[in-house]
């Protein structure tokens, strides 16, 4: 059994700290105080990063901002703890506080997503996916996932990833409407008999029908892995279907939409005790537990796990639910505002936090748009669109997201301003043939508008940029 809600029993008293409260804070204060004098070069870069995050508008889909208390937990003395294994069954001494921290994180993860078990050790969702795939598959087995070019993730079977090299990867794509076609998934599954089917994406603005995927998985005898990295905050707050009991295994990153540290989670629901496949004597939960440690990871990152616990605690509160609603509303308004300005969106809109802009008609590449927007203080990344003829490092699309905009408090009114700014930059580039960059006067005007917006909506709890 992997660590989850149940092992944190009321009968086990938490170990008492043997130092005065505030010791952790003193340690962090000491470190933060020493850095400017002892290592001004590094400290200057870290200061500059905080200013950069305050003064630039991150309209990205792949990140959220961590609360300062999450950062404080990530920088804790737990960083000094080496403890392979799981709470109560470590291969090193000195882990009694880390054991409790890991149990707390797993309990919070399980409670937030309604899971029976949560493994909080993966260093990222990529690691989580590798752990799951290597727990359930043998080299040469077939993996069915969304094509990278259609919005899938490297670890879902892309040729450049170990998942595309050790497994026989088969990929589904998007229909002409920019949506996943369940009939195509079913047809591929019947033809190729995958061991694992992945339902998840890095760039898909629509709702996942996990029930349809599970029906296909059951028909062909496959495991269903749901990777919810991009929509985990919406899932946790009931704004997107929760796959935990529908899929056999669910994975997520903790930084994309949960405001957590770099890291991943593996969640198990109704299927936790299932025994099937090549290793059919072992329950799924135990296979996944071993799939993380010792199969694909050694020592867990104890401080990152503490930061996960903090972020998961924050995500369980009412403010996070309000934030998730704002994220989704903002994305819808942004999508409509861009459409109203004549832009084409992949799938015609959005159900989540993500808006995929197809720049083909504008005659602008994703790379040129990304560069020009960054020059103006807006972060948004290039992205392939269906039927893209440009190379992957160039692309014909732009991926926008509202996680950080909503965290800063930008609402529907400001989404019209954001759409105006993106539209101005894209049209400005298109008017100059795309490749010559922006007219400097136009860039200055957009930069000033971005700065005004950032000053009006500072990152909450982060120091003001000076």
Q: Is 129 in the site for ligand DSN (CB under 6 A)?
A: no
Q: Which of residues 323-382 bind ligand DSN (CB under 6 A)?
A: none
- Taking Cα atoms as reference points, which of 159, 160, 162, 168 lies closest to residue 188? 168
What DSSP letter does each residue of 20-79 carry, written as one string?
-TTHHHHHHHHHHHHHHHH-HHHHHHHHHHHHHHHHSEE--SS--PPPHHHHHHHTSGGG
Query: Is 214 or 308 the residue whose CB approaches ligand DSN more closely?
Result: 308
CB count within 10 Å of CB 332 equals 18
Query: Is 116 or 153 the residue whose CB approaches ligand DSN more closely?
Result: 153
Query: Is 195 or 395 the residue whose CB approaches ligand DSN more closely?
Result: 395
Q: Output the smallest distance, CB 384 to ligand DSN, in A.
A: 12
Strands 354-358 and 397-401: antiparallel
Query: Is 260 or 313 the residue whose CB approaches ligand DSN more closely?
Result: 260
**Total chain residues near ligand DSN (CB under 6 A):** 3
DSSP letter assigned to residue 180 = B
And the tokens for 83?
A: 């403890």
Phi/psi for 315 (5° steps) reads -70, -15
Residue pair 388/396 in contact (Cβ under 8 Å)? The answer is: yes
Query: Is 229 or 396 the residue whose CB approaches ligand DSN more closely?
Result: 229
Q: Output the smallest distance, CB 202 to ligand DSN, in A.
A: 4
Q: Is 202 in the site for ligand DSN (CB under 6 A)?
A: yes
Query: Is 49 or 219 the residue whose CB approaches ligand DSN more closely?
Result: 49
Query: Is 142 or 254 the residue whose CB approaches ligand DSN more closely?
Result: 254
Q: Output the smallest distance, CB 122 to ligand DSN, in A.
A: 13
Question: What separation in angstroms does the CA of 156 have from each of 257, 287, 411?
Answer: 20, 19, 34
Q: Output the smallest distance, CB 224 to ligand DSN, in A.
A: 20
Query: Is 204 or 293 the residue whose CB approaches ligand DSN more closely?
Result: 204
- Taking Cα atoms as reference points, which of 381, 380, 401, 402 lies closest to residue 392? 381
Q: Output the smallest distance, CB 363 to ligand DSN, in A.
A: 25
Q: Output the smallest distance, CB 133 to ligand DSN, in A.
A: 16
Angle at 158 between CA 290 and CA 392, to 5 degrees: 140
And the tokens for 178?
A: 């920019």
- Taking Cα atoms as reference points, which of 183, 185, 151, 182 lies closest to residue 170? 185
Residue pair 220/189 in contact (Cβ under 8 Å)? The answer is: yes
Q: Which of residues 63-82 bind ligand DSN (CB under 6 A)?
A: none
Query: Is 72 or 148 the residue whose CB approaches ligand DSN more closely?
Result: 148
And the tokens for 13?
A: 């008293």
Q: Output the smallest distance, CB 253 to ligand DSN, in A.
A: 7
What DSSP letter does each residue of 407-457 carry, written as one string?
HTT--HHHHHHHHHHHHHHHHHHHHTTTTS---HHHHHHHHHHHHHHHHHS
Q: Output the smallest distance, CB 243 to ligand DSN, in A.
A: 18
And the tokens for 217?
A: 């998985």
Q: Which of 3, 58, 59, 62: binder of ligand DSN (CB under 6 A)?
A: 62
Site mask for ligand DSN (CB under 6 A), range 153-192, x = bound: x---------------------------------------
Q: Output the smallest distance, CB 86 to ligand DSN, in A.
A: 26
CB count within 10 Å of CB 60 equals 21
| Binding footprint of ligand DSN on the chain (CB under 6 A) | 62, 153, 202
């Amino acid at each position: 059994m992997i660590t989850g809600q149940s092992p944190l029993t009321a009968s086990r008293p938490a170990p008492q700290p043997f130092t005065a409260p505030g010791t952790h804070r003193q340690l962090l204060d000491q470190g933060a105080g020493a850095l400017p004098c002892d290592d001004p070069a590094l400290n200057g870069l870290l200061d500059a990063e905080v200013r950069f995050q305050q003064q630039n508008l991150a309209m990205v889909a792949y990140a959220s901002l961590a609360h300062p208390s999450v950062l404080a937990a990530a920088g804790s003395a737990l960083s000094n703890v080496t403890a392979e294994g799981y709470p109560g069954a470590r291969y090193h001494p000195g882990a009694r506080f880390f054991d409790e921290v890991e149990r707390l994180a797993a309990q919070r993860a399980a409670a937030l997503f309604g899971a029976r078990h949560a493994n909080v050790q993966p260093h990222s969702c990529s690691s989580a996916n590798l752990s799951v795939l290597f727990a359930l598959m043998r080299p040469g087995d077939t993996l069915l996932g969304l094509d990278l070019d259609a919005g899938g993730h490297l670890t879902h079977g892309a040729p450049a990833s170990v998942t595309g090299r050790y497994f026989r990867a088969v990929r589904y794509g998007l229909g002409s409407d920019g949506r996943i076609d369940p009939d195509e998934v079913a047809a591929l599954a019947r033809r190729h008999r995958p061991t694992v089917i992945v339902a998840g994406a890095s760039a898909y603005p629509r709702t996942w029908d996990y029930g349809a995927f599970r029906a296909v998985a059951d028909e062909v005898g496959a495991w269903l892995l749901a990777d919810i990295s991009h929509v985990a905050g919406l899932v946790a707050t009931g704004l997107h279907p929760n796959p935990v009991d529908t899929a056999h295994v669910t994975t997520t990153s903790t930084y994309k939409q949960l405001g957590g540290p770099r890291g991943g989670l593996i969640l198990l629901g109704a299927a936790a005790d299932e025994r099937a496949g090549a290793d059919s004597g072992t329950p799924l939960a135990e296979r996944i537990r071993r799939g993380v440690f010792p199969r694909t990871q050694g020592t867990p990152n104890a401080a990152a796990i503490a930061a996960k616990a903090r972020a998961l605690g924050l995500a369980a509160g009412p403010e996070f639910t309000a934030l998730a609603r704002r994220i989704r509303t903002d994305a819808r308004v942004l999508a409509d505002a861009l459409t109203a300005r004549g832009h084409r969106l992949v799938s015609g809109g959005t159900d989540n936090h993500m808006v995929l802009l197809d720049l083909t008609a504008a005659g602008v590449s994703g790379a040129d748009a990304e560069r020009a927007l960054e020059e103006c203080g807006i972060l948004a990344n290039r992205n392939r669109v269906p039927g893209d003829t440009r190379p992957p490092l160039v692309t014909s699309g732009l991926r926008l997201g509202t996680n950080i905009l909503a965290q800063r408090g930008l609402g529907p009114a400001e989404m019209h301003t954001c759409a105006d700014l993106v539209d101005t930059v894209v049209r400005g580039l298109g008017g100059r043939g795309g490749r010559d960059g922006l007219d400097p006067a136009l860039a200055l005007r957009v930069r000033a508008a971005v700065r005004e917006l950032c000053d009006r909506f500072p990152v909450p709890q982060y120091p003001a940029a000076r």
